[in-house]
């Protein structure tokens, strides 16, 4: 539960002490409001931010949106992407995200040919995160097929390394980027894009490095139907059959699950990343959050397509979507929701022990104003309820990552985020207009 007047000591990017009472040292920074542990955005594709407010209108589905997203993917190059990802990561930091899992699948040039440095686009993401100050897990994504049994075509050629062995070879080159705030992980794009034998290769790379393994799973009924037709089992069952489910595994979306899928994810102590604002935007559906939690699955949040970047909106949606689906309230208490946004997310991204205000944890934390027009007048004893159910991204006043203050009084300390976004987004649209 929240406590008043707590002093957090930080040494070398980690929490060295958490003590009740006001600090003795005059140099201490006073954080006014509710200070939460660092918040993890477990599922991000930074470039999807380009589609915000441009792809929301009209009819269609996930599949028609995907065509628009492919068009944006076709425009990227390392310089454009470095600027775009820096702006988007800075937006995240300002909104209260201290850690991000970038599910990165655009690897090669516009013709699908590797750049001179085959990790040039990964490096753009890495540099962007460092500029914005956000802690990054780069989930390098294997993507080999344009659908089950189909070759990649068009822009998908930018995503494919050809074979899982070639993917693994390229990923070896990412070790040079690792740092106290950067970790490398692996991802299987989906059962649509990675055949079972290749899944095993990705699984083995993740296991040998002890790093996180993520996959898009059952976001759409059509994915389940294609998987059932090709393999006779669901995507979760296919991943289980090929040894991918374990405590390092995170299923992203997990919207359309069979009861047996929920059981498999629970028995394997896997994690699920819900992306409620994207799932509602794309008309994906509502995932079985309460059933998953009941089966022992740790839930986390992700802003995925970035139609919205707001961890409070994402977090409360876990409970609120469950209410819409069930007609009942009270499935998750605010502390459980906070854990989904914080420590569960950090664990999913390979930062075990992070996302907590404990001695030894990475020194990431977020302070929320409790005197804004949204949060003023709340019961101090229910401050967490106030933050989870009433606050939004603009109520974030201070953000610290690895002991470094990135946001003070609501402003990013080294980047003009609005200008960065304006410039980077206009540059992408200028390429698309050609
Ligand atoms: Zn995604």
Element housing 100 (H / E): strand 97-104
Neighbours of ion ligand 1 (CB under 5 A): 304
Q: What is the pLDDT of residue 120?
A: 97
Give the HSE-up count for residue 321: Cα atoms under 13 Å, Cβ half-sphere: 25
CA torsion through residues 103, 39, 270, 327, sign = negative
Range from 57-61, 272-276, 329-333 carrying the lowest mean pLDDT: 57-61
Element housing 281 (H / E): helix 276-281
Is residue 304 annotated as part of the catalytic site, yes or no?
Answer: yes
- Cα(219) to ligand 1 centroid in Å equals 9
Mind listing the pLDDT tens digit for each residue in 358-386? 999 999 999 999 999 999 999 999 999 99
- Residue pair 322/304 in contact (Cβ under 8 Å)? The answer is no
Is residue 104 annotated as part of the catalytic site, yes or no?
Answer: no
- Selected residue with higher pLDDT from 251 and 69: 251
Closest CA to 386 of 36, 18, 30, 37: 36
Order of strands across the sheet with 404-408? 34-37, 365-368, 396-401, 404-408, 411-412
- Cα(380) to ligand 1 centroid in Å equals 37
Confidence of residue 327 (pLDDT cuts 50, 70, 90): very high
Whether the pLDDT of residue 65 is over 90: the answer is: no
Mind listing the pLDDT tens digit for each residue in 230-239? 999 999 999 9
- Cα(389) to ligand 1 centroid in Å equals 25
Of 216, 242, 253, 412, the active-site residue reads 253
Whether the pLDDT of residue 115 is over 90: the answer is: yes
Whether the pLDDT of residue 246 is over 90: the answer is: yes
Q: What is the pLDDT of residue 337?
A: 98
Mind listing the pLDDT tens digit for each residue in 125-159? 999 999 999 999 999 999 999 999 999 999 999 99
- Cα(207) to ligand 1 centroid in Å equals 22
Q: What is the mean pLDDT of residues 111-134?
A: 97
Q: What is the pLDDT of residue 237?
A: 98
- Cα(182) to ligand 1 centroid in Å equals 20
Classify strands 249-253 and 271-274 as parallel, antiparallel or unpaired: parallel
Q: What is the pLDDT of residue 60?
A: 81
- Cα(189) to ligand 1 centroid in Å equals 8
Range from 2-11, 53-62, 338-347, 397-406 carrying the lowest mean pLDDT: 53-62
Q: Quote the tokens at residue 77.
A: 């190059």
Q: What is the pLDDT of residue 67?
A: 87
Q: What is the largest CA-CA distance in the chain?
A: 67
- Cα(48) to ligand 1 centroid in Å equals 9
- Cα(236) to ligand 1 centroid in Å equals 16
- Cα(381) to ligand 1 centroid in Å equals 37
Whether the pLDDT of residue 414 is over 90: the answer is: yes
- Cα(153) to ligand 1 centroid in Å equals 19
Of 261, 284, 304, 364, the active-site residue reads 304
Q: What is the mean pLDDT of residues 102-131?
A: 97
Task: Please state the pTM of the whole predicted model.
Answer: 0.97
- Cα(305) to ligand 1 centroid in Å equals 7
Q: What is the pLDDT of residue 389?
A: 97
- Cα(143) to ligand 1 centroid in Å equals 13
Q: What is the pLDDT of residue 374?
A: 97
Q: What is the pLDDT of residue 61?
A: 84
Please enumerate in sequence order all residues whose Cβ is within 8 A of that of 181, keeping only pairs 6 or more positions apart, or say none. 13, 129, 130, 134, 135, 136, 401, 402
Q: What is the pLDDT of residue 312?
A: 98
Closest CA to 76 of 43, 105, 102: 105
Whether the pLDDT of residue 24 is over 80: the answer is: no
Q: What is the mean pLDDT of residues 197-217?
A: 96
Cα 279 versus chain centre, distance: 14
Confidence of residue 2 (pLDDT cuts 50, 70, 90): confident
Distance CA 152, CA 134 (A): 33
Tell me the pLDDT of the chain averaged across its residues: 96
- Cα(432) to ligand 1 centroid in Å equals 22
Q: What is the pLDDT of residue 222?
A: 95
Percent of the residues in the chain that have a pLDDT greater than 90, as a whole number:
90
């Amino acid at each position: 539960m929240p406590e008043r007047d707590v002093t957090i000591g930080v040494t070398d990017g980690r929490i060295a002490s958490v003590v009740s009472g006001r600090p003795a040292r005059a140099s201490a920074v006073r954080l006014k409001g509710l200070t939460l542990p660092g918040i993890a955005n477990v599922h991000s594709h930074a470039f999807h931010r380009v589609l915000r407010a441009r792809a929301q209108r009209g009819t269609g589905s996930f599949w028609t949106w995907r065509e628009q997203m492919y068009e944006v993917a076709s425009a990227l190059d390392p310089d454009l992407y470095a600027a775009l990802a820096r702006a988007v990561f800075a937006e995240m930091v300002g909104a209260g995200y201290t850690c991000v899992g970038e599910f990165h699948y655009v690897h090669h040039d516009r013709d699908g040919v590797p750049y001179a440095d085959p990790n040039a686009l990964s490096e753009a993401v890495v540099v962007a995160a460092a500029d914005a100050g956000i802690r990054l897990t780069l989930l390098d994504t294997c993507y080999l097929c344009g659908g089950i049994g189909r070759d990649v075509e068009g822009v998908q050629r930018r995503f494919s390394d050809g074979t899982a062995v070639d993917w693994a070879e390229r990923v070896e080159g990412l070790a040079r980027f690792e740092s106290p705030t950067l970790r490398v992980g692996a991802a299987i794009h989906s059962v649509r894009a990675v055949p079972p034998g290749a899944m095993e290769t990705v699984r083995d790379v993740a296991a040998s490095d002890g790093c996180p393994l993520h996959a898009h799973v059952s976001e759409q009924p059509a994915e389940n139907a294609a998987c059932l037709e090709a393999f006779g089992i669901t995507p979760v069952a296919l991943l289980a059959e090929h040894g991918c489910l374990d405590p390092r595994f995170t299923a992203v979306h997990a919207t359309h699950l069979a009861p047996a899928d929920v059981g498999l994810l629970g028995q394997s102590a896997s994690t699920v990343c819900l992306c409620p604002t994207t799932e509602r935007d794309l008309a994906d559906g509502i995932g079985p959050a309460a059933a998953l939690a009941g089966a022992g699955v740790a839930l986390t949040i992700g802003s995925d397509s970035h139609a919205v970047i707001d961890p409070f909106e994402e977090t409360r949606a876990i409970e609120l979507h469950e209410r819409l689906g069930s007609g009942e309230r009270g499935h998750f208490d605010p502390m459980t929701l906070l854990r989904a946004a914080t420590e569960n997310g950090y664990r999913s991204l390979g930062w075990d022990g992070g996302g907590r205000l404990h001695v030894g944890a990475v020194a990431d934390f977020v302070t929320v104003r409790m005197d804004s027009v949204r949060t003023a007048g709340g019961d101090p004893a229910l401050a967490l309820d106030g933050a989870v159910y009433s606050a939004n991204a603009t109520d974030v006043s201070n953000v610290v990552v690895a002991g470094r203050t990135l946001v003070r009084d609501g402003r990013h300390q080294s980047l003009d985020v609005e200008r960065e976004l304006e410039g980077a987004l206009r540059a992408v649209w200028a390429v698309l207009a050609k």
